[in-house]
Every structure is written in C-alpha cells, then in structure tokens.
Amino acid sequence: MSQLQWQWIDNDAALASLCLESRSKDFVAIDTEFVRTRTYYAQLGLIQLYDGVNLALIDPLAITDLSPFWQLLADESVVKVLHSGSEDLEIFAQRGGVVPKPLFDTQVAGVLLNLGAAMGYAKLIKHYLDIDLDKGESRTDWLKRPLSDAQLNYAAADVLYLHQIYPTMLAAITEAGRLDWLWQEGERACRGRLDPERPEKAYLKVKNAFQLKPKQLAVLKSLAHWRLEVAIRKDLAVNFVIKDALLLNIAKKAPRSLAYLEQLEGLDARTFQRYGRSILGAVARADLDNPPEPIDPTGLDPDFREAVAEVRTLVLKLAEQHQVQPEFIASKKLVSQYVNYIWQDCFGKTPDLLQGWRGEICAQPLMKLVLR
C-alpha cells in the first residue's frame, strides 16, 4: 500500500475545524482503534475519519475536548458509515454519551445484499474494490506514541476504502428495496447503548448461572452486583476481579467465614487477601427471602425446545423465500425471545420478530403456529 495523504489531528482547534467541515458532507466514514485487555472500558487510541476531502487521524490521547466529534456523530443530516460497528458504538456511548445517527453498517448491508454471512472488512473491500488489505498492523498497541507511518497508513486505509464502497452499497441496497431495513438495523444496534449500567442485573451475564437453585441465585445476584461495581471503579474487566466459575462456586457454597472462604476451590491467596471480606459482605447482603426468577426457566423444558424448533423451521422457510440469511432474520436469542413472549400470553415488550421489517416478514406466518 502506498503512503496515504492523511492529516494528524492532535489539538482541539484542529478537531473543531475538521468536524465543522465534515458536518457539511452527506456522509462520513468512521472507525476507531482501541486497546482492551484487562480494562472494563475499551481504551480509545485513535479515531479515523474520512469525509471525501479530509482523511484524518484523530489523537484522543492529546485532544482535551472531543465534543465536536460527538456532535458530528449526533448530526442526523450526516450518514455515519461504519463496518461491524458494535465495539465502536460502545466506545461512543461510554466516552461521548452519544450514538451515531443515522448509522450505515457495511457489514449489515453486505448481509442484506446476500453477499454471504457477515463479511470481514478485508473481504468486503476485496469484493468491491479488488484490493488486498494489509492486516499486518492489526496487533498494534494503539495507545503507544509515536505510531509508525505503517501503522497510521493502515488505520487511514480503513476509512478511505469504507468511504469509497458506501455509494455502491447504498445504490444496491436501495435497488433491492432494503434501505429502510438497513436504517432499522442501525437504530436497533444503538438501542440501549446510552442506558446506565445496572449492577443488579449483572448476575444474568454470569456463565452457567441457570444451574443455581433460587437461594444460590440470590447470592450470585449480590456477588455479581458487587463485582461489577468493583470492575467499574477500578476500570478492570470483570473476570480480572473474579472469574465467573469462582463466582458461581462462591454462590453455591455461600461462605459465612473467612476460614471457610479460604478453602474454596479456585480462590487464590491474592484474591482472598484483596477481596475476602468484601466477598463475605456481598454474601451476607443476599436477599434469600426474595430470590430472583430462575434464569431461562423454560429453556430446558422439552416443550419449549420443541416450540423453538418450530419457529426455527419457519424462519428457514421465510429466509429462503425472502433471500435473507436465517440467522440475520432470527438468531437463537430472538427466537427464544419470541417463544417466551408467546408463553407469557403476549405480556411485556413486543419481541423483535414482530417489529419493523422482521415483523413484515414474520408476523403473519408466526400467528399460524400453535406453540402451546
């Protein structure tokens, strides 16, 4: 790859000027580079932006005021083009309290255009531009300074080519009659991103939590609440506080003394010294008289599994009929969400399978199924 003509943005005035100009464009291509090894929050190392004129590499380590960039993301007159943007969205929400509107995710567009399963960026660029991207700098520590020309060239290429393929993909998806689907998926990807953390729900993300009995689950709920608060306060990935398997074991044993806790399998001396008393405190705070509902209580029910299978069979037929990837119409999670909704007599939030473009495809056929 030859040297690209990018500009390095490392001060507030330059960023403000860049973003003001970019907000006059119809669309901008955006990417981020970050490091996330032991931290709870991704550590933003670089922001790449191309608006068709300015190919910019923005240094968030040097800039003190990123608000012009956040304002650009929120400007609904400018389409934000990203590829597989889930982690970028997390960073934007956490750092800037914003999500990009409107969002055109080229990976989603590729699926809707029947280019196959979710395509990686390099494969997408090869498909549209017949360019082989050099991914040799993908393991860069983006927090180090200075970054080499090769690293910066690699980063700039991501948004340069993303910007180039957008008009072609936009035309194709418009012709296919699926542009509205694409916008809906962008909104869906951003849904809930700005919601505050809910430590009281953290136990739902603990692996194998469904195995626990009600009182054990009450203990896990208290432990997971405590662990998440520690992780956020220390900016430490939750499993670097205490791993899921150990948290589960503590919940099962519900230790009430340091002596008993110290003997638990999987608890090393360092973790015991650092968190022993806090763990006992979390165990003691568990509300055993009001345990949470069992996790996915119907998931192991044979009748529930049969209902899920029926919905999956229907989805496969609809996917073939409408030429859409089955997993994109309805992942396992969305199918379970729908069956739970039906089993609860349509109580609660309307499932995704009955909303938007999915509802247009699925609602009437689903109504013909007898799932109970």
CATH number of the CATH domain containing 81: 3.30.420.10
Q: How high is the pLDDT of residue 67?
A: 98
Domain assignment of residue 296, yes or no: no
Q: Residue 368: is its pLDDT beyond 70?
A: yes
**Directed axis angle between helix 356-367 and helix 179-190, to 10°?**
100
Six-digit token pair at 52?
């068709």
Q: CATH no. for residue 242?
A: 1.10.150.80
- Annotated catalytic sites, by residue? 31, 33, 88, 154, 158
- For residue 190 the two structure tokens come to 């951003």
Residue 151 lies in a domain: yes
Residue 292 lies in a domain: no
CB environment 113-131: b (16+ within 10 A), e (fewer): bebeebbebbebbeebeee
For residue 127, being part of any structural domain is answered with yes
Instruction: Answer yes or no: is 65 within a domain.
Output: yes
Orientation of helix 179-190 relative to helix 149-175, angle to 10°: 130
Of residues 96, 1, 2, 3, the one with CA closest to residue 47:
96
The average confidence (pLDDT) of the chain is 94
Lowest mean per-residue pLDDT among 21-30, 44-53, 170-179, 290-299: 290-299
Assigned domain for 119 exists = yes
Do 56 and 115 fall into the same domain?
yes
131: alpha, beta or left? (left if phi > 0; alpha if psi -120 to 50): beta
As a whole number of angstroms, the distance between CA 32 and CA 143 comes to 12
Q: Are residues 240 and 328 in the same domain?
A: no
Boundary residue ending a domain (285, 316, 337): 285
Task: Give the pLDDT confidence of 65-78 residue by residue, as tens digits.
Answer: 999 999 999 999 99
Range of the domain at 230: 199-285
**pLDDT at residue 47, as a whole number:** 98
Pair 83, 112 in one domain: yes
pLDDT beyond 60 at 2 = no
Last residue of a domain, one of 190, 218, 248: 190
Tell whether 352 and 207 lie within a shared domain. Answer: no
pLDDT at 95: 96
Q: What average pLDDT score do residues 239-251 get?
A: 97
In a domain, 167, yes or no: yes
Average confidence (pLDDT) over 249-278: 96
Q: Are residues 62 and 156 in the same domain?
A: yes
CA 275/CA 55 separation, integer angstroms: 48
Whether the per-residue pLDDT at 242 is higher than 80: the answer is: yes
Domain count, the chain: 3
- Per-residue pLDDT tens over the stretch 100-121: 999 999 999 999 999 988 899 9
Distance, in Å, from the CA atom of 309 to the CA atom of 144, rounded to the nearest integer, reads: 50
Determine the pLDDT at residue 135: 75
Residue 347 has pLDDT above 90, yes or no: no
Residue 9 in this model has a pLDDT that exceeds 90: yes
Question: Are 251 and 207 contained in the same domain?
Answer: yes
Mean pLDDT of 142-154: 94
**Are residue 82 and residue 144 in the same domain, yes or no?**
yes
pLDDT in tens, 203-241: 999 999 999 999 999 999 999 999 999 999 999 999 999
Does the CA dihedral 334-339-342-348 come out positive or negative?
negative
Q: Does residue 343 belong to any structural domain of this protein?
A: yes
Average pLDDT for residues 42-51, to the nearest whole number? 98
Q: Do 186 and 110 lie in a common domain?
A: yes
| 249 and 334 part of one domain | no
Q: How far is CA 31 from the centre of its chain?
A: 15
Domain limit, last residue, from 226, 254, 285: 285
**Together in a domain, 203 and 111:** no
Residues 169 and 53 in one domain: yes
Q: For 129-139, what is each residue's pLDDT tens digit?
A: 999 988 777 78
CB of 256 closer than 8 Å to CB of 283: yes
Q: Are residues 345 and 266 in the same domain?
A: no
Residue 299 pLDDT grade (very low, low, confident, very high; cuts 50, 70, 90): low
Looking up tokens 């040799």 gives 136
